[in-house]
Structure 1
Amino acid sequence: MLYVIIPVFNRWRYTAECLVSLRAQTNQEFRTVVVDDGSTDETAAELARGYPEVEVVTGDGNLFWTAGVNLGIRRALALGATRVLTLNNDVVAAPTFVAEMLAAADQNPTAVLGALEFDAATGEVIYGGERLDFRTNTRRDLLHELPAGLRTGLHPVTYLPGRGLLIPKAVIDKVGLFDEKRLPHYLADFDYTSVARRAGFPVLCNYAAQLSTYPEESGQTLTRKHRSVKGYYQHLFGIRGGGNLVNFTHFAIKNCPAIYLPYFLLNGYARRLVGYFMH
């Protein structure tokens, strides 16, 4: 059984839209677990009132993304999950999303699967996976390599984001859960999928499974809209900082081949130090 895990903190408008899109799935062979990490808006009341099919797990407001997802996965496994799918609350699943994910999972039972993503506001395709060259710390965006007519099928990638990520239980049994101790928020998803790939599991972006997202609502985007000394510090050292130097160091040490590590670290530090001020 597939369990969909959605960590949330406030922003009920997005959560409601996400849950409505799950109700509209052509394949309903899944259950949903929402991890409500101490929301102070109407989230708890609305979940209880209008979504009896959703299993709700609550936190104290200090879980952040990684611990929240892990709490949901633990609950799903206790309920008998054979696959889990992590989903951010600010995404909208196309009606065939679950069906396409399950079809690909049936054909590739040990694969970790991601999705093709579109901008919810414009309809423009914005993410189709990437491949990282650890030697040079350069990324190849698959969307730039594939003409629109060839954006189909499964594509091997280096890692995947957690906002629409299917993980077979076999991967969890071997790799464990997300690294909430060292990567409490950002990079935990890229780290997990990279570790899974290095452990021998295929990591594939499934172009038939499609999501719409709100890129302007990401923490990194919001932080950079109002640049300040405090924002710069949060960018480099805050738990929600997209350029967090400590998180990047953990990711690099865990995933970069040792021979390339010195350059990868120095290049990555430089990018994060100046990236806050770049458009």
Structure 2
Amino acid sequence: MLYIVIPVFNRKEFTRACLHSLQQQTTLAFTIVVVDDGSTDGTGQMLREEFPAVLIEEGDGNLFWTAGVNLGIRRALREGATQVMTLNNDVLAAPDFVADMLAKAAQHPTAVLGALELDVATGQPVYGGETLDWRTNTRHDLLAQLPATQRHGLHPVTYLPGRGLLIPRAVLETIGLFDEKHLPHYLADFDYTSVARRHGFPVYCNYDAHLSTYPEESGQEITRRRRSIRGYYQHLFGIRGGGNLRNFTWFSFKNCPRPYLPYFLLNGYARRLVGYFLH
């Protein structure tokens, strides 16, 4: 049984739209768990009134992404989930999204699967996974490499984001939950899927399953649009900082092969120190 875990904090309208897209799936063989981390905009009331079938877990506003997801996963496992999918609330699932993810999971029962992401405004693909060369800290965007005729089926990747990430129970039982202690918000999803791959679980981006996203609404994009000294500090050291140096260091020591670690760290630090002002 598939359980879809969605961590939310305010942004009620995004959550409503996301849940409506899940209600319109061609298969409804799943249960939704929403982790409401102390929302103050009426999210909890909206969930209870408009989506009574949704299971709700609540936080006090200090869970952030990783602990919120873990809270939902624990609930799903207690309920008997055989598969868990983590999903952000600022996505819209295509009508056959869940059906295609389940179909691919049936063919590859030990694989961790992500989805092709489209821009909600244009319908154009914006993210289809990537591979990472640890030696040079160079990321290779699959969308830039694959011709349109090959943008279907499963493609192996180094890691995956947590929005639309299908995880078999066997993976959770083998490597545990997301690393909320060291990676409370960003990089927890890339870390988790990297660890899963190293434990022998294939990691694929499923180009036949589509999610529509709002690229301009990501936390990192909003921070960069409001450049300031305070924003720069938050970028490098804040829990929600996309360039958080502590998180990057932990991710690197945990995942990068030791011979490549010194250069990988130096290159990554340099990118984070200057990248805030370049994007």
**TM-score, normalised on structure 1?**
0.99
**Matching residue's letter, 1:252:** S
| 2-structure distance, mates of 1:56, 1:173 | 23
Q: CA deviation at 1:269?
A: 0.1
| 1-structure distance, mates of 2:238, 2:69 | 19
- The aligned residue for residue 138 of structure 1 is 138
Pairwise CA RMSD: 0.4
Q: CA deviation at 1:87?
A: 0.2
| 2-structure distance, mates of 1:195, 1:250 | 13
Counterpart check, 1:260 vs 2:265? no
Superimposed CA distance per residue, residues 162-191 of structure 1 (whole angstroms, 9 cap, x where no aligned partner): 011000000000100000000000000000
| Structure 2 unmatched runs, 5+ | none
Segments of 4+ moved more than 3 angstroms: none
- The aligned residue for residue 30 of structure 1 is 30
Q: CA deviation at 1:47?
A: 0.5
| 1-structure distance, mates of 2:119, 2:187 | 21
| 1-structure distance, mates of 2:84, 2:220 | 26
Q: CA deviation at 1:121?
A: 1.3
- The aligned residue for residue 238 of structure 2 is 238
Aligned to 1:261, the other structure's residue is in SS state helix
- The aligned residue for residue 166 of structure 2 is 166
Structure 1 segment 41-52 matched on structure 2, within 5 A: 41-52=41-52
- The aligned residue for residue 154 of structure 2 is 154
**Matching residue's letter, 1:176:** G
- The aligned residue for residue 274 of structure 1 is 274
- The aligned residue for residue 86 of structure 1 is 86
- The aligned residue for residue 109 of structure 1 is 109
Q: CA deviation at 1:250?
A: 0.5
Identity rate of aligned residues, in percent?
73
- The aligned residue for residue 98 of structure 1 is 98
Q: CA deviation at 1:89?
A: 0.2
**TM-score, normalised on structure 2?**
0.99
| Structure 1 unmatched runs, 5+ | none
Structure 1 segment 210-221 matched on structure 2, within 5 A: 210-221=210-221
Q: CA deviation at 1:135?
A: 0.2
**Matching residue's letter, 2:152:** T
Q: CA deviation at 1:42?
A: 1.4
| 1-structure distance, mates of 2:187, 2:122 | 26
Q: CA deviation at 1:124?
A: 1.2
| 2-structure distance, mates of 1:30, 1:208 | 19
Q: CA deviation at 1:114?
A: 0.2
Aligned to 1:121, the other structure's residue is in SS state coil
| 1-structure distance, mates of 2:204, 2:264 | 24
| 1-structure distance, mates of 2:217, 2:73 | 25
In the alignment of these two chains, the number of paired residues is 279
Q: CA deviation at 1:123?
A: 1.1
**Matching residue's letter, 1:22:** L
| 2-structure distance, mates of 1:27, 1:50 | 20
Counterpart check, 1:64 vs 2:64? yes
| 2-structure distance, mates of 1:101, 1:224 | 33
| 2-structure distance, mates of 1:106, 1:95 | 19
**Matching residue's letter, 1:57:** E
Q: CA deviation at 1:225?
A: 0.4
Q: CA deviation at 1:63?
A: 0.1
Q: CA deviation at 1:106?
A: 0.3
| 1-structure distance, mates of 2:148, 2:60 | 44
- The aligned residue for residue 199 of structure 1 is 199
Aligned to 2:277, the other structure's residue is in SS state coil
| 2-structure distance, mates of 1:54, 1:88 | 15
